Structure formats: C-alpha cells, structure tokens
Amino acid sequence: MAPIEVKKICCIGAGYVGGPTCAVIALKCPQIQVTIVDLNQARVDAWNSPDYNLPIYEPGLLEVVKEARGRNLFFSTDVDKGIREADLIFVSVNTPTKKSGVGAGFAADLNYVELATRRIAAIATSNKIVVEKSTVPCRTAESMRTILEANSKPGTRFDILSNPEFLAEGTAIDDLFSPDRVLIGSLQTQEGKDACEALASVYSNWVPRERILTVGLWSSELSKLAANAMLAQRISSINALSAICEATGANIDEVAHAVGKDTRMGPKFLRASVGFGGSCFQKDILNLVYLSESLHLPEVAAYWRQVVEMNEYQKRRFSKRVVDTLFNTITGKRIAVLGFAFKADTGDTRESASITLIRDFLSERARVAIYDPKVDEAQIWLDLQEALPTTPLEQIKKSVTIYKSALEACEAAEAVVIATEWKEFRQIDWNVVYDKMSKPAFVFDGRLLVDADSLRKIGFKVTTIGRGERL
C-alpha cells in the first residue's frame, strides 16, 4: 500500500505545542487544511479573536496566525468534526505529572491522552494516521493502539506514529521553521512505514529530508525524554558548580566560558541560574525516574532524580542567600521580584523558579512586589494559590502586590531579585531605582543579567549567582 497523501490535518489540543506546531504546518503547507480543536471555549475564542489576542505569547506566532488563519488554518471546539474529516490527527494534549495514585509525583498523567484516543476510536469512520505529539512515557503508543483497535469500527484502520516536539519556548517558531531534526517513530511494518512517509511528506514541504529522522516507535518516545533529561542535566551541573564558585571566590561565567570552549562540550546550556523551569524538563526527568524504577533499575532512577534535586537545592540556596544577606530576616521587608515567567520571551509560568522564591519569601513573612512583562495577573494569583494551598488567596494578596512596571515594583523595596532574564531588566534606569529604594539597597541577580560593577558604583549591594564576592 502506498503512503496516503495528507490533505486534512486535525490537532487535538490548542496549547503551547499544538497551537504553534500546526499553525506553522498550515503556513508552510497551504494545500493542507489544518484544524486545531480544543474543548476549552475560551482558548479557542482567543485563537479566533479579531484583534489576534492569542492565548499564548511566542515571538513570531502572531505573524504566522495572521497569514494562515481563515485560509487553511482553523480553530474550533467541534472535536468530532475535526476527527471525522482528518486524514492525520495529532494528539497534543496535556500530560502533567500525576498528583495522586500510583506513581504520584513522578509518572505522567495520561488521562487526557486516553480520552482523546477513545474519542478518535468512537468518531472515526475512515482510516486515520494518529500521531502522538504530547510528551509521553515509553510505550504509550502501544496503549493508544490497543484502545483504537479495541474500539474501531469495521473496516477502519489506525496507524500510530510518535512525533515528539523539540521546541524551546521563546524560540518555538524559529525552531519549527528550521528544526535541528524532525523525529518520526513508527512500527517497522509496511503499514507503519507508509504512515511514517505520509507525515514525512508533510514536513518535507519546508524541512530538508536529511533532517527528518525515521526510527522505531519506542526509540522515538525515549529520545524526547532523553533529550530533555540531558539538557536539564547540563543546567544542574553548572548550577552545582555555581555553589562551589560562591564558596571559593571563583566566577561561574569564567568557568562556563572555559568549559564551553571545549568542542566536545560546546557553550549551550552552561549558564548558571536560579534553576530551570518550564513544562518539560522536570516532568520528563521524573517520567524517566518512574520508568527506570518500573523497569527495576534503581541506580538509573537515582541518577536522574539527582538532576531535579539539584534544581530544587539551587532555588532553596538562592532564597536563603537573600535572607542571610538581609541581616538574617526579611520579615516585613519589601522584596521586588522581577520576572515571573520561567524564562524570557514566554508567558509560561509552569515550574517557574519565581514561584518557589516567592513562596519562600512569604514563608519568612516578607512583602513581595512582582513585575513581569508578559504573564497575566490572573495566572500569577493562580500559581501562588497552588504554591500555598493552605493559605487563602485573600491572605496572599495582603502580602503580594503585582505591578505594571519594574520601576513601580522596585519603589521602596529593600531588595530587588532578578528571577527571569527579560532583556528590559538590563535597560532599567538603575540610578532611578536606587534613589527610590530603602538603603542599603540590595540586588540579587539570579540570571547573570546585570553588570554588577556598574550597580555597585551607583551604591547597590549586589549578589550574583555563581560569584564569590563578599559584601
């Protein structure tokens, strides 16, 4: 059987992965109709908003949606219609870490994946290629195939593919336009290879064929977890070294630069910080830990678990340094936290280091002023509520204020904590900030963002992560 020609694509899930990925597919493949479906009416309305007030912020996404929406890119809550009409269906739903039951705190919650799969089986009346796009544990595709085959209508066949995303938030559109690789995993049967070729043909509209890698289904699933685990491992490694630098007087920037000059290593992901965040790194490593334990590989599980433990340690260490430096108490003191997103150029706050820092500051009874250029106020309150489940929101609001500018947040503060590496924080008029702060005025740079010497000349007491200066 020859590979089918994909004419209609449906993506279930209009979030951070499904939205940008399928918007770019629509842009690059004007001959293919792409429909992104989601049960969340408010999210779909945002994607369809006349003023393009999109539900997620990603540089370049707005331009992509403006060009393709209404031409061959559509957003809808009619999931069943999308499934029925599509030749190929991306399953791009959330797979958060389980909060209860077997594997709580480690295993991925595959409830949404299963619900989507069962819906496809119930609605489909013709052959479909079903593509697992969400980050999932190894052998999830096998479970999906079992569900589809057990519930399929007579004469309906499903081919399962794994096509993990390797996007970095903040550069997702560039990553999609020019990916290092596109990975497609399939069963190594003729039908599996034909389905694989059908999806490869979609990507080959703009991705060179040599960058489209076709592998076995299980290798594809594990490759995604492995890539994120190894990137996170580099961050935890450099953060571990930053603690040594602070204790010895070494400079982590200089150490990272020297190490990165080794061509076997390279310079990427060697920037010390207050800790990594985002929806993938921690979730995928915990997934790997759970998988290793399930396969009776406790030493492997312990190895990967340490990457996450080092990340948590880095955040605790940084917040403790703030307290220690401010004369061992921050009770009643105003702390300005600049940045709430987990990294610059995104509005995503999942696993953000800022949340942990603010929780720690509030536990010390500090007053916290927050500013972030892209994160909605409602999202900040939601995240703080989740971080402090036993504290009523009204109580949190008595100690936390959200501001519309960095200067407002810093006014009358005893300390400024840089928690996200937004470029605008480099361009703040620090002379004005200093004049409006309580004295002595402290700056804690958790992102190696500002010129510490310049700030000291103004009068600030500066603490930079990974540098052993003594105040």
Catalytic residue among 132, 165, 411, 421: 165
Cα–Cα distance for residue pair 471/419, rounded to 1 Å? 20
Element (DSSP H or E) covering residue 456: helix 452-458
pLDDT tens-place string over residues 436-459? 999 999 999 999 999 999 999 999
Report the DSSP pairing between strands 334-338 and 182-186: unpaired
What per-residue confidence (pLDDT) applies to 471?
42
One-letter-per-residue 3-state SS of 27-73: HHCCCCEEEEECCCHHHHHHHCCCCCCCCCCCCCHHHHHHHHECCCE
Question: Helix or strand or coil: residue 198?
Answer: helix
**Residues in the chain, pLDDT under 70:** 1-2, 137, 469-471
Is 280 labeled as catalytic in the residue annotation?
yes
pLDDT of residue 269: 95
DSSP-derived secondary structure letter, 426? T
What pLDDT, on a 0 to 100 scale, did the predictor assign at position 3?
Answer: 74
Neighbours of 1 (CB within 10 A): 8
Q: Rounding to the nearest 10 degrees, give the CA dihedral for residues 188, 178, 15, 286.
A: 60
Tokens standing for residue 381: 């309150």
Q: How far apart are CA 336 and CA 444, in angstroms?
A: 10
**Annotated active-site residue in 224, 283, 333, 343:** 224
131, 113, 110: which is closest to 184 by C-alpha?
Answer: 131
Confidence (pLDDT) at 140: 81
328-347: pLDDT as tens digits = 999 999 999 999 999 999 99
Q: Is 165 a catalytic residue?
A: yes
Residue type, 113: V
Quote the pLDDT of residue 469: 65
Amino acid at 64: V
Cis upstream peptide for 440 (omega within 30°): yes
- Burial of 145: CB neighbours in 10 Å, binned 0-12, 13-18, 19+: middle
Could you say which of 10, 11, 245, 280 is catalytic?
A: 280
d(CA 144, CA 128): 13
Which amino acid does the sequence have at 162?
S
Q: Which tokens sit at 431?
A: 């002379």
Contact by Cβ (8 Å): 77, 264: no
Q: In the prediction, which pLDDT does 390 show?
A: 96
